[in-house]
Chain A
Amino acid sequence: MDWQAFALSLRLAAVTTAILLAVAVPLAALIVLGRGRWLAAVEALATLPMVLPPTVLGFFLLVMLGPRTAFGRGIAALLGHPLAFSFDGLVVGSVIYSLPFAVQPLVAGFASVDTALVDAARLLGAGPVRLVSSILIPLARRSLLAAIVLSFLHTIGEFGVVLMLGGDIPGATRTLSIVLYDQVENFDYAAAGRTALLLLGLSAMALIAIYSTSRNRGITRRA
């Protein structure tokens, strides 16, 4: 088992999820509470990575963050190294790739909160930040949990973007899904089976955690 790749995958998923929450909560609140036709374009852009083939997204990011563009050169000058083929680059790619998996559950959760409650909070002086923190998030807890778990798992299982943008550098960009690909390519099916089982176990445990939380709170309908 490649524990270095395992630790890197967990680190990448944790950092990506934390950044995604900071971005997705205000973005989802804006989509739900905002007014204006331009919000449809914002929602479409936030959903785009979901329908885009990961290799296409990875290719665009590789070109954009590489030395071929002024933006890529600027970032490299700022950080002292190019973003492509680095852990930081993987984080950027993962945040963009997993954005819809954080935004969509939150939009659905926030939109399900009764508008009368939102109006009541606004009438009592709540601004956007208090409205989100004291009303929308507590009343859409399950959606928040779903956003966290989906973002984390989606990042753990990411392959196309990681391979295009990060390559296969041990300790820097080699994640579990890349290790699995390498093992299959080398016909090491026993090791590939263990890696695949680990990825499967992680996903299953996280989903069981979500559903057991809902059941404990009596949210899920019992048969």
Chain B
Amino acid sequence: MLKFSLDSRRGSFHLQVECTFASDWTVIFGPSGAGKSTLLRLLAGLDLPHHGSIALDGRVLTETNSGLHLRPGHRQTSLVSQQPALFPHLSVAANVAYGLRSLDHAARARRVDEMLDLVGATDLAARRPQDLSGGQSQRVTLARALAPAPRLLLLDEPFSALDGVASDALLIRLQIWLRESNVQTAVATHDATDALATSAEVLLIRDGRLVALGPASEVLASERRRLLGRLETN
């Protein structure tokens, strides 16, 4: 369970959200500029809130009152951004292995194979990032984020470069694997169809404030009607 209370200011933008994610899969939905990426960066520990706390399964990751802040990489939290940030000087396999330093060589190689297989990128292992398409890069970035076995996976519009069919197939395989591996996931998106595609808990966020939290069918009812209306019109 992910529990957080965050107050963060950046320029004129003010994020103030208090929330608990109890579901295995939570969608953070909101328009561009609502604060989704800011929230994910705070949860990942890349940025510090001005006030607040973050706890994952009862373990405190950030608490400004006591000055506690676990560094990224020590929070069992992975973040995959919209823009794949693969290390250009390393092969795909070396990218996936980057966070597996504590494993011995054989275990590391097995884990890399397992992760690349999960995202359907086994044949890309020897390639360099600059030789990959946008969709392939996103798959490899996902494999790299999953390799260290995080407890919390944060996805920031991670499938934007994949076509619909490929995205759906990967999403189904990923959800099964995450459930089996007991990884809690939060996915940020501004696309209502993505949010409605999964029977997930949805956090609706707007202008840095929590608007609603609940089942997708309830929180996104108006978005669903809008999408259906557009289909009927067409």
Which A positions have Cβ atoms within 8 angstroms of B? 114, 116-117, 119-127, 134-135, 138-139
Question: In the complex the two chains form, what is the Cα distance from A120 to B98 in whole Å?
Answer: 10
Are B87 and A135 within 8 A (Cβ)? yes
- Whether A122 contacts B81 in the complex (CB less than 8 A), given A135-B87, A138-B89, comes out as no
Across-interface contacts of A119 in B (CB, < 8 A): 46, 72, 79, 85
Are the C-beta atoms of A123 and B46 separated by less than 8 Å? yes
Chain B interface category by residue count: 20 to 34
Partner of B85, one of A120, A126, A127: A120
Say yes or no: B79 contacts A125, CB within 8 Å.
no
**Interface residue B44 (Cβ < 8 Å from any Cβ of A):** yes
Does B9 belong to the interface (CB within 8 Å)? no
Is there an interface contact between B87 and A117, defined as CB atoms closer than 8 Å?
A: yes
B99 within 8 A of A: yes
> Which residues does chain B contribute within 8 Å of A125, judged by CB atoms?
73-74, 99, 101, 148
Instruction: Please provide the chain B residues from 55 to 102 with a CB less than 8 Å away from any CB of chain A in the complex.
Output: 71-74, 77-79, 81, 83, 85-89, 98-99, 101
Q: A123 touching B44 by the CB < 8 A rule? A: yes
A126-B73 contact, Cβ under 8 Å, with A116-B81, A116-B83, A121-B98 = yes
In the complex, the answer to whether A122 meets B98 with C-beta atoms within 8 Å is no
- Is residue B144 contacting chain A, with contact meaning CB distance below 8 A? yes
**Residues B71 and A122 in contact, CB atoms below 8 Å apart:** yes
A120 contacts B73, CB within 8 Å?
A: no
Smallest Cβ-Cβ distance to A117: which chain B residue? B85
A134 and B79 CA atoms in complex are apart in Å by 20
Residue from B73, B83, B89 in contact with A122 in the complex, judged by beta carbons closer than 8 Å: B73
Q: Are B72 and A122 in contact (CB under 8 A)?
A: yes
Max chain A Cβ within 10 angstroms of own Cβ: one of B71, B98, B99: B98
Picked from B81, B88, B89, B98, the residue with its CB within 8 Å of the CB of A124 is B98
21 A-B pairs within 8 Å (CB atoms) are namely: A114-B85, A117-B85, A117-B88, A119-B72, A119-B79, A120-B144, A122-B72, A122-B73, A123-B46, A123-B73, A123-B79, A123-B145, A124-B99, A124-B144, A125-B99, A125-B148, A126-B73, A127-B71, A127-B73, A138-B89, A139-B88
